């Protein structure tokens, strides 16, 4: 198999999606209290995407999670990867309450994502470092948070 620096982008995205789907809190926020394992299987490419997504013709009022992975720089043996997570919701479903969390549904979803990713060691060497949090407005009906994480990893990994 060819060694490329960018090969890990797909691996990171797959691990991110699996991590989100492994979180009962995230799944409950996205699907509601009475979700089933079959519902979780349907989240990918409907509410959880491995790329930035917004359907301008969307008629349902739903929350979404999107991820993107980018390459920042490399040295002789290491590389720096940037993970961007978009946690956003339709403005008509912003109200949400869950013990241990505060804010709007978009704020809580972003907090859940950060907690889930901080517990994981699947992304590079050591923990992910949260670099920035900003507002995200994909269109006039949606609002959310953009979280940017950084991690270092070996330039080439054996899989």
Report pLDDT for 154.
66
pTM over 0.85: yes
Q: Which residues contact 57 (CB under 8 A, 6 or more apart)?
A: none
Q: Measure Cα distances from 94 to 14, 24, 48, 85, 154 in Å.
A: 28, 19, 17, 18, 40
pLDDT value of position 118:
87
Q: What is the mean pLDDT of the chain?
A: 88
Which structural domains are found in the chain, ordered by start? 5-154 (3.30.70)
């Amino acid at each position: 198999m060819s060694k490329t620096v960018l090969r890990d982008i797909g691996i990171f995205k797959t691990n991110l999606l699996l991590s989100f789907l492994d979180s009962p809190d995230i799944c409950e926020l996205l699907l509601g209290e009475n979700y089933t394992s079959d519902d979780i299987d349907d989240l990918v490419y409907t509410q959880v995407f491995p790329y930035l997504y917004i359907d301008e013709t969307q008629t349902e009022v739903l929350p979404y999670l999107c991820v993107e992975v980018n390459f920042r720089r490399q040295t002789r043996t290491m590389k720096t990867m940037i993970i961007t997570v978009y946690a956003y919701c339709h403005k008509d479903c912003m109200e949400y309450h869950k013990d241990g969390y505060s804010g709007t549904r978009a704020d809580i979803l972003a907090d859940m994502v950060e907690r889930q990713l901080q517990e994981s060691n699947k992304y590079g060497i050591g923990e992910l470092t949260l670099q920035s949090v900003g507002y995200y407005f994909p269109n006039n009906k949606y609002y959310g948070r953009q979280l940017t994480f950084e991690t270092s990893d070996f330039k080439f990994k054996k899989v």
